[in-house]
Amino acid sequence: MSRRPVPQVGGTPSRALLPTLALLTTITAVVSSLGAPLVPSVATAYDVRLGTAQWSLTAALLAGAVATPVVGRFASGRLRRPTILVGLGVVTLGTVVSAVSAALEQGFGVLVAGRALQGVGMALLPLAIAVARDALAHERQDRAIALLSVTTVAGAGLGYPVTALVAQLGGLGAAYALGTAMTGLTWLLAWRHLPGGPDETPARVDWWGALLLSAAMLAVLLAVSEGEVWGWGSPRTLGLAAAGLAGLVVWVRVTLRSPSPLVDLRLATRQGVAAPNLVAAVAGLGMYALLTLVVVLVRADEPGFGLDRSVLVAGLILVPYSLMSVLGNQLARVVRRRLGPRWLLPTGCSMFLAATLGLGLFHDHLWQALLAMALGGAGSGFTFSSLAVLMVPHVPRAETGSAVAFNQVLRYLGFTVGSALSVALVAAYGGGDGGFTAALLTLTAVWVVAGVGAVLLDRTTSPPQAR
């Protein structure tokens, strides 16, 4: 059998290229976020507390945060296409591992390991954006970048009800088996339609920097997620938190001095890039805190708190979020065209703030949660579709992958912290309805920081250079 020739960047792109890229980012988002509506079910199946079960989500987010800069540098040049294919293979392996563990309801550590492998898929979004920038013409390029940026949000929201339904009908193992089928199909389409990358030597990967970043983040997240059990003032909690923060400081210092850093921190503070990076980190934290807590609300059955609904309803609660994120993407394009780009980030943050505040104050009925999710989804689509579009004009073509990858790292770090911090805040405030409300009211502060920071940083932004 003759080998199919690989399409190359610079030639006429396949009509199926953009749908393939969109499917790639959507499916990897679905698989990477499989943990959110399933966390209470994981806690029950493995007989672990909710905060521990949350690691079935946090592990994927942490792996995505660390894998993104590593994959982004390793996949530069001619290795981009094979890296995407190998990455999808790793995700598929992760779904198989988790499916087996969940079907047997044994080996919580094995389940978490499989979820970490699935998180590698989150590193493929910057590569998809780099393919779109190289292969598509200017007008199609802007639309493609905005579309790919929002598919990660829409994919998570649309995937929640599907996986929740499968989990309710066939158990946890069936939900992860569905992920195997979806990523397998995506791999076939990527193999068929993805073009090869430019013939350039791949960049050097700072493996020690990746290891240091992983260890530092893991220490901080362990302190946050397990502080309730160990005691917030215990030597173990304080020691891990201090070690993790010290590790992050060391990582920043080493990165700034390295001739080939894992991520280019100087590029992150460039005019036109700093504001999207700030909002990516804060919006990631606030988004996953909101998604995590609404699932907790829907599944909880405590005196005076919780809606006591099934895992399927917990999945369906996020359908408005997903649908409105697509509408938010379209609304952002209208606002950008008519009012200019400076209104994008503050407006998106304001929508998120209203959703978080509304859910914190009004959560006695299912329709209130649905309304909060719809508003949050609009803010999510509005915000995340704007980030790459705002950044790319200020970044040289050769540095697109690095800049977008770092923005993704900040977003995924925000996802990871938000996932762990939200549950910890509820517990720290005493749990129940009071803890839930106090946690969400506290989280509204992050949107104030993001909105005000975006306005202040945008004042120093120069007009974008022509590409």
N-term to C-term CA, the chain: 42
Tokens (6 digits) for 64: 């995505």
- Of 3-7, 260-264, 362-366, where does mean pLDDT reach its minimum? 3-7
Site of tokens 């946050």: 224
For residue 198, pLDDT beyond 70: no
Compute CA distances 89 → 48, 105, 190, 401, whole Å: 30, 24, 11, 21
- How far apart (Å, rounded) are the C-alpha atoms in residues 229 and 89? 37
For residue 13, what pLDDT is reported? 62
Q: How many CB atoms sit inside 10 A of residue 442's CB? A: 17
- How far apart (Å, rounded) are the C-alpha atoms in residues 30 and 160? 7
Closest C-alpha among 86, 95, 157, 158 to residue 123: 86
Asked if 309 and 299 count as a contact pair (C-beta separation under 8 A), the reply is: yes
Site of tokens 């005000």: 452
Higher pLDDT, 228 or 443: 443
For residue 154, what pLDDT is reported? 65
Q: Give the global pTM.
A: 0.72
Tokens (6 digits) for 374: 């719809």
For residue 69, pLDDT beyond 70: yes
For residue 463, what pLDDT is reported? 43
Average pLDDT over every residue of 264-292: 82
Higher pLDDT, 35 or 244: 244
- How far apart (Å, rounded) are the C-alpha atoms in residues 339 and 349? 17
- How far apart (Å, rounded) are the C-alpha atoms in residues 277 and 225? 25
- Per residue in 217-236, pLDDT tens? 888 878 877 776 788 788 99
Using pLDDT thresholds of 50, 70 and 90, give the confidence band for residue 187. very high
Closest C-alpha among 47, 163, 78 to residue 115: 163
- Per residue in 108-135, pLDDT tens? 999 999 999 998 888 888 788 878 877 7
For residue 385, pLDDT beyond 50: yes
Percentage above 90 pLDDT, the chain: 19
HEC assignment per residue over 188-218: HHHHHHCCECCCCCCCCCCHHHHHHHHHHHH
Helical packing angle, 207-230 and 55-74, nearest 10°: 170
For residue 282, pLDDT beyond 60: yes
Asked if 372 and 352 count as a contact pair (C-beta separation under 8 A), the reply is: no
- How far apart (Å, rounded) are the C-alpha atoms in residues 461 and 283? 20
For residue 50, pLDDT beyond 90: no
- Per residue in 401-429, pLDDT tens? 667 777 877 887 787 788 778 888 898 89
Closest C-alpha among 219, 231, 286 to residue 427: 231
Asked if 37 and 163 count as a contact pair (C-beta separation under 8 A), the reply is: yes
For residue 467, what pLDDT is reported? 41
Q: Which range has highest mean pLDDT (1-5, 82-86, 210-214, 419-423)? A: 82-86
Average pLDDT over every residue of 335-350: 83
Running DSSP on this structure, what letter comes out for residue 78?
G
Closest C-alpha among 443, 450, 452 to residue 356: 443
Residue 278: HSE in the Cβ half-sphere, 13 Å Cα cutoff:
23
Three-state secondary structure call for residue 48: coil
For residue 264, what pLDDT is reported? 74
For residue 1, pLDDT beyond 50: no
Rounded to the nearest 5°, which phi and psi values hold at 45?
-65, -40
Closest C-alpha among 265, 444, 269, 266 to residue 357: 444
Asked if 436 and 420 count as a contact pair (C-beta separation under 8 A), the reply is: no
- Of 80-89, 140-149, 286-295, 314-323, where does mean pLDDT reach its minimum? 140-149
- Per residue in 241-271, pLDDT tens? 899 999 989 988 888 888 777 777 777 777 7
For residue 320, what pLDDT is reported? 87
Tokens (6 digits) for 180: 């195997």
Site of tokens 């938000």: 418
For residue 372, what pLDDT is reported? 94
Tokens (6 digits) for 296: 């907790």
**Which stretch of DSSP H or E encloses residue 129?**
helix 125-135
Higher pLDDT, 7 or 90: 90
